[in-house]
Amino acid sequence: MDKTKPEITATGRRKTSVASVRLREGTGNLVINHRDFKDYFPMLPIRNFVLQPLKLTNTDTRFDIRARLCGGGIVGQAGALRHGIARALIAVDASLRKVLKASGFLTRDSRIKERKKTGQPGARKRFQFSKR
């Protein structure tokens, strides 16, 4: 990537995944953890899920994106990357905020795994009750 162009950074989160996104003017090249986007996310529905903010704002061929993903699984990382891309687009052009907000791309999905409680086999599961 060309080092003279300014780079916008943003962070996206989902479950336990964190995505650090770097957005720069370019041709639509996506690199995740030093790997090609299609290699990192081989399934088409997940790729389409990640690219939703870019397609909605018609900027899918306008920016090059480099991202570092860590934590969680594939779906959590995809959600974190989508959140990070949407936040980076806002930093580039504030007029996109209304469209992205209405579509729900700027809202952090706060659902995480509930912790296991002490003295019980799981978060909600209880030991079997025996009256006698």
Domain containing 56: what range?
8-103
Q: What is the DSSP string of 29-47?
A: -EEETTEEHHHHS-SHHHH
Beta strand segments in 1-132, E: 8-14, 17-25, 30-32, 35-36, 63-70
51 is a domain residue: yes
Query: What does pLDDT average to over the chain?
Result: 93
Whole-number Cα distances in Å, 106 to 22, 23, 79, 116: 17, 16, 11, 30
pLDDT tens digits, residue range 38-73? 999 999 999 999 999 999 999 989 999 999 999 999
Instruction: Report pLDDT digits (tens) over 78-97.
Output: 999 999 999 999 999 999 99
- Per-residue pLDDT, 132: 84
pTM (whole model) above 0.75:
yes
Decide if 131 is inside a domain: no
Confidence check: pLDDT of 5 > 60: yes
Q: Domain holding 41: CATH number?
A: 3.30.230.10
